[in-house]
């Protein structure tokens, strides 16, 4: 009797399991038929956290904070080094363009190209040191030009393989110039630091931005008017101007060894 009851229970359990499996299959088939994207999206939702953990491990974000800080410092250092190299390349490109222009000018004129070794910030007040001297035939009084044919000074002392260039903006230096569109003659007096001043009658029309040129047929650029100071009680007005180039950033100059000033 007990044996028969046990068989009936096992047979009933199998039938229940069979019907349950059949019901599950039917439900899955119906859901798949009616909403085919339900199970893939459900699987993706369940698996996403595990995928993120696996990706984090592959990328190394599970490393210690110390390791991440070291890597960040290394990458920052590499970026800084790359920026320095980029600035060096840009500086060399700019220098190359300037040098090519000056070399082209020197090849078509009697000018001699020279590199500036020291600027006024290092050398004496408003004085340059260049890398050529008597070895290139330089003499005292040779005019010196910057890029763009800007007349900036003259050779004041010649050494063996270097020379000193006294800028016209040095205090006490004076030079005849032509100011403004009307080319009004005036005497430019150096004030130091690449600055000049001159005096003109008040009825002469001059304004900021007007050109200042050296006299002569070449009319070499000498400066650009920065301000005009006028006093109604005085018959003259003061004209302030500066060279068209920055004397503190000059890298190359041209020396005219065939004409002295």
Q: Let me know if 199 is exposed, middle or buried by CB neighbors in 10 A (0-12, 13-18, 19+).
A: middle
Tokens at 26, concatenated: 């039917």
Q: Over range 212-241, report the average pLDDT.
A: 86
For residues 210 and 49, which has the higher predicted lDDT (pLDDT)?
210
Q: Residue 33: which pLDDT band, with cuts at 50, 70 and 90? A: low
Query: pTM above 0.75?
Result: no
pLDDT tens readout for residues 192-210: 888 999 999 988 889 999 9
Report the number of secondary-structure helices (H) and strands (E) in the chain.
3, 12
Q: Let me know if 168 is exposed, middle or buried by CB neighbors in 10 A (0-12, 13-18, 19+).
A: buried
pLDDT tens readout for residues 121-153: 765 578 999 999 998 889 999 999 987 688 899
Alpha-carbon torsion (92, 257, 131, 218), positive or negative: negative
Alpha-carbon torsion (146, 148, 151, 152), positive or negative: negative
> Half-sphere exposure (CA, 13 Å, Cβ side) for 214?
20
Worst-scoring range by mean pLDDT, 49-58, 92-101, 155-164? Answer: 92-101
Dihedral, CA atoms, 112, 117, 123, 125, nearest 10 degrees? 40
Q: Is the pLDDT of residue 236 over 70?
A: yes
């Amino acid at each position: 009797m007990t044996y028969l009851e046990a068989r009936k229970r096992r047979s009933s359990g199998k039938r229940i399991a069979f019907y349950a499996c059949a019901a599950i299959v039917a439900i899955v088939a119906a859901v798949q038929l009616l909403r085919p994207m339900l199970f893939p999206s459900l699987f993706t939702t369940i698996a996403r956290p595990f995928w993120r953990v696996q990706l984090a491990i592959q990328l190394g974000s599970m490393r210690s904070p110390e390791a991440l800080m070291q890597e960040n410092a290394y990458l920052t250092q590499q970026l800084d080094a790359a920026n320095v190299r980029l600035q060096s390349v840009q500086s060399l490109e700019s220098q190359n363009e300037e040098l090519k222009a000056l070399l082209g000018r020197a090849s078509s004129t009697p000018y001699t190209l020279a590199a500036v070794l020291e600027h006024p910030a290092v050398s004496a007040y408003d004085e340059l040191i260049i890398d050529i001297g008597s070895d290139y035939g330089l003499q005292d009084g040779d005019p010196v030009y910057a890029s763009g044919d800007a007349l900036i000074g003259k050779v004041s002392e010649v050494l063996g393989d270097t020379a000193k260039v006294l800028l016209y903006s040095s205090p006490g230096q004076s030079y005849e110039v032509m100011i403004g569109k009307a080319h009004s003659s005036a005497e430019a007096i150096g004030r130091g630091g690449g600055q000049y001043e001159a005096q003109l009658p008040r009825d002469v029309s001059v304004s900021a931005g007007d050109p200042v040129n050296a006299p002569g047929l070449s009319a070499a650029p000498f400066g650009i008017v920065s301000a005009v100071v006028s006093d109604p009680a005085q018959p003259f007005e003061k004209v302030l101007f500066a060279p068209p180039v920055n004397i503190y950033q000059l890298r190359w100059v041209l020396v005219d060894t065939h004409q002295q000033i």
